[in-house]
Structure 1
């Protein structure tokens, strides 16, 4: 089960992993904490689109439905209102980041106890980037992870369930950028992609290497891209999400990466399977 702040986050942060595990027969649940109502239209081609202008929330629900079909996952809306990202750091009243944690964690606990996942994926304490909803998504996920296993908490939300493994998303990392740069330097030394990749290596050079788990997703990059393109209001055809050609990714770093932060089962590092240890004990 993966918990995300907005529709489109599931497609940019783990979509190939979800498609991979669906191909193996695993059940995959994606939770969207908010509807992305306060987002902007980030695709110039959507300018003047009637629904984008008058009902962005409704459009983003349709986009999420399309992405869900491409990935083959189950999906739930938690129903909270997008908090936006204001320069002053303030969030609107009753938006997701303003709702008390014990209130916003309850529906996540309810889904955990119903779906009974072995693995939970969320963001780190910085939210991946400092959007109030991403940070709150981390807080809510951690609180629900703990509370779902405690029968004394939220007793009306179903029978207690202990999740075996908890991961943070670490898909954008220096190891990946290094691998792309080195592969391209050898195979296409005149490629125009080398300059921006080199710049990315420089500003990421002090990033800590936190990923513990590298999921092989090379055969599912097109499913990821189809899901991303479904979110047309947020993802343009020229988006940086499509910066690296899929053939290069398959050759250099055909993985999506995660950090195991809590585990109730034994496993060995590095992992190539989010369910490592879980299957051995089943």
Structure 2
């Protein structure tokens, strides 16, 4: 069986980064598991239209768990909480919340992830790059503990955490790029040149200019856009109906850029790049 582990900082990250990929592989029979390193309890309500503000004010941690469960069901995946406290996003010069995820030593916070890797035995792990995708302290620490845990899980160290397991392939999420926005702009100019969206897309393209991360692997998710959107909407306190995630109609996505994109950063099975499958080169078990 193919087994994919995707490690994220907060609940809702899994739905904005690679949700279509996870829905596709789950639908194809793979074991797909998301690890959320924190509970997202330091987050605010980001959706002005969110109705259950009483629940959010009383129990943000509990609300985020309810939302994560709904997203999990939408994608058809398994989910594990790593159990650390959301560090929040402090203002420049302000300290990170004491005893939160970003303050825990990697060799401590990475141990439960080692246990998870050794128990689930994923061939493929997906996470963020060393910048965290964006400089949130929990995203950066998510990258750090994931890479540490992958190395540690393959070694003979800490036998109490399970039998060693070597992950075959490690990918970084590369969902955002100027090339993608340019492709959407070209599609609008061709198919809907009178659209009132075009000027906004041109502004987006200018703002995104030269943001071209290395991409080795493009996974077609055109048949799983509804599941991706349902997972995003499940995080109702965080994802507003007018969020840019919903800006692109599905027909435009399918024509212009129907893939979710990744960078292969480690492989024990060789490389034949570019790829269209995260499991390329991995034998079925």
Does the alignment reach a TM-score above 0.5?
yes
Q: Does 1:77 align with 2:61?
A: no
Q: Does 1:236 align with 2:240?
A: yes
* Distance in 1 separating the partners of 2:45 and 2:134: 19
* Distance in 1 separating the partners of 2:147 and 2:86: 19
Contact 1:175 1:209 in 2 (8 A): no
SS in 1 for 2:31: coil
Match of 1:224 in 2: 228
* Distance in 1 separating the partners of 2:38 and 2:52: 24
Aligned pair partner of 2:105 in 89, 100, 118: 100
Q: Does 1:130 align with 2:135?
A: yes
CA displacement at 1:89 relative to structure 2: 4.6
Q: Does 1:61 align with 2:88?
A: no
Aligned pair partner of 1:214 in 218, 222, 235: 218
SS in 2 for 1:28: strand
TM-score by structure 2 length?
Answer: 0.95
SS in 1 for 2:35: strand
Match of 1:140 in 2: 145
CA displacement at 1:192 relative to structure 2: 2.0
Q: Does 1:258 align with 2:280?
A: no
SS in 1 for 2:223: helix
SS in 2 for 1:266: coil
Contact 1:181 1:197 in 2 (8 A): yes
Contact 1:164 1:263 in 2 (8 A): yes
SS in 2 for 1:219: coil
* Distance in 1 separating the partners of 2:33 and 2:231: 15
Aligned pair partner of 2:278 in 270, 274, 277: 274
CA displacement at 1:204 relative to structure 2: 2.1
Match of 2:54 in 1: 50
CA displacement at 1:179 relative to structure 2: 1.2
Match of 1:118 in 2: 123
* Distance in 2 separating the partners of 1:206 and 1:238: 26
CA displacement at 1:46 relative to structure 2: 2.3
CA displacement at 1:197 relative to structure 2: 1.8
Aligned pair partner of 2:90 in 86, 89, 96: 86
Q: Does 1:160 align with 2:150?
A: no
TM-score by structure 1 length?
Answer: 0.96
CA displacement at 1:202 relative to structure 2: 1.5
Contact 1:214 1:255 in 2 (8 A): yes
Once superposed, which parts of structure 1, at least 4 consecutive aligned residues long, lie more than 3 Å away? none
Contact 2:174 2:213 in 1 (8 A): no
* Distance in 1 separating the partners of 2:113 and 2:196: 45
Which ranges in structure 1 are unaligned for 5 or more consecutive residues? none
CA displacement at 1:70 relative to structure 2: 0.5
Aligned residues: 280
Contact 1:18 1:73 in 2 (8 A): yes
* Distance in 2 separating the partners of 1:55 and 1:118: 37
SS in 1 for 2:224: helix
Which ranges in structure 2 are unaligned for 5 or more consecutive residues? none
* Distance in 1 separating the partners of 2:208 and 2:253: 18
CA displacement at 1:24 relative to structure 2: 1.1
Aligned pair partner of 2:22 in 18, 23, 28: 18
Contact 1:22 1:73 in 2 (8 A): yes
